Chain A
Amino acid sequence: MDRDREFARGRPVAVLVFVTGLAWLTPAFAHAPLLDCYIEGDSVKCEAGFSDGTSAAGKKLSVLDASHKLLVAAVLDKTGAYSFKPPKGDYQVVFDGGDNHTATIYSTEIK
């Protein structure tokens, strides 16, 4: 009985919050941006995609230096890839999957 009362009082709000959250976040759940980069010859090749198999073609990819200065602003090709000559020093690559959902990889992780 206590549990029922607790449910009656507490759950509708929780459910409402959950449903509202779902409405906002569903694309992020089903559609997480994914990024990996590796060294290929004297270039860095980055490949992006989404967890539901959606193509990343035409989406934005940025290369930033250690002080977050934008070095490269690129658009991913039809295979969701982009290659560039690595800058000197530490850098990071950011894949912008849209709706403020990004995936980032740091130069120390790129091999």
Chain B
Amino acid sequence: MPVRFRAAAVAAAAGAIAGVFSPFALAHFQMLYVPESALERAAETPMAIVFTHPFHGGPTMNMGLPRSFYVVSQRGDDAAPVKTDLSKYLQPIEWQGVGNKAAAYRAKLPREVVRSMGDYVFALEPEPYLEKEEDKYIQQFTKLVMNVGGVPGNWDKPLGLAAEIQPLNKPYANWVGGVFSGIVLSQGKPVPFARIELEYVNHAPDLNAQAFATAGAIEAPHPSYENISVRADAAGTFSIGLPRAGWWGICALGVGPSKKHEGKPLSQDAVLWVQAKDMKR
């Protein structure tokens, strides 16, 4: 036991040192978080909007005021999509990540916003974030897809974002052990061999406490498991496995068209959130 404890301490120290340097320069994820993405009926929906490293629950980065925050909803295949601006619901908060606190947002979406059955594709265009380590900006166009009542709609329709992941499976209906596929898009066009990162939300978000759980649910056997690297194929399509219940973040790096912001390099990334559930009675 003491030996194992010492090994863990060394690993933690190594992790802390590594955190100061490069690994965390990758693995940024703009979160749009709700506890439940497949609602049986409409209910007030609290959402957390946090920019972090979800496998480690931090460090968490300060967010500027998002440039846009909206939802496009649709009930049924043939119905017209309805776009609703949600920026008035954004409230600045302090989010307690593992190791630090940072400026984030929450949105208490009233029941009226998600009252009809159907799909709800939430989109966030954040203000570019200056990553000081690398002296470059990161801007992650982020989507979260919810459903109310089981009637599908526009879950698979792109919104026309500068950088976007188009799902080929419903992001709100995935069994653990299933496969999830999508297409990486840049201004609506597939991005061959796009570089993709995949991370598990390992520190449970607590909307009331505005914090991540201090303890992670799992431990990675190796750094390459913390932030999993995936490539899209020649058609811009990718597939991932979903080995554990909870939320998985998918991020396609640098696929958007703008490459500069305020004289510095800019990476326009596309993020999509996928929820997996255990098969059980």
Contact = CB atoms under 8 A, between A and B. Distances in A.
A54 B42 CA distance: 20
B77 A38 contact: no
Interface in B27-58: 41-42
Interface string B63-95: 000000000000111110000000000000000
A34 interface: yes
Nearest to A38: B115
Given A34-B117, A38-B115, A53 B149 contact: no
A103 B151 CA distance: 13
B152 interface: yes
B118 interface: yes
Contacts of A54: 76-77
Nearest to B111: A38
B149 A55 contact: no
B117 A36 contact: yes
B152 A51 contact: yes
B150 A80 contact: no
A79 B81 CA distance: 12
Q: How large is the interface on A (under 10, 10 to 19, 20 to 34, 35 or more residues)?
A: 10 to 19
Contacts of B150: 32, 34, 51
B236 interface: no
Contacts of A47: 75, 116-117
Interface in A52-92: 52-56, 79-80
Interface string B6-21: 0000000000000000
A51 B115 contact: no
B256 interface: no
Chain A interface mostly: loop
Contact of A53 (B41, B42, B77, B116): B77
A49 B151 contact: yes
Given A47-B75, A47-B117, A55-B78, A38 B42 contact: yes
B117 A55 contact: no
Interface string B192-236: 000000000000000000000000000000000000000000000
Interface string B107-145: 000000001111000000000000000000000000000
A105 B106 CA distance: 33
A50 interface: yes
Contacts of B117: 34, 36, 47, 49
A53 B76 contact: yes
B76 A49 contact: yes
A55 B79 contact: yes
Contacts of B59: none
A111 to B, nearest CB: 9
A53 B153 contact: yes
5 closest residue pairs by CB, A with B: A49-B151, A53-B77, A53-B152, A55-B76, A49-B76
13 contacts: A34-B151, A36-B117, A36-B149, A47-B116, A47-B117, A49-B117, A50-B151, A53-B76, A53-B77, A54-B76, A55-B76, A79-B75, A79-B79
Interface of B: 41-42, 75-79, 115-118, 148-153
Interface of A: 32, 34, 36, 38, 47, 49-56, 79-80
Given A49-B118, A51-B150, A80-B75, 17 more contacts: A34-B149, A34-B151, A36-B41, A36-B117, A36-B149, A38-B115, A47-B75, A49-B149, A49-B151, A51-B151, A51-B152, A52-B152, A53-B153, A54-B76, A55-B77, A56-B76, A80-B79
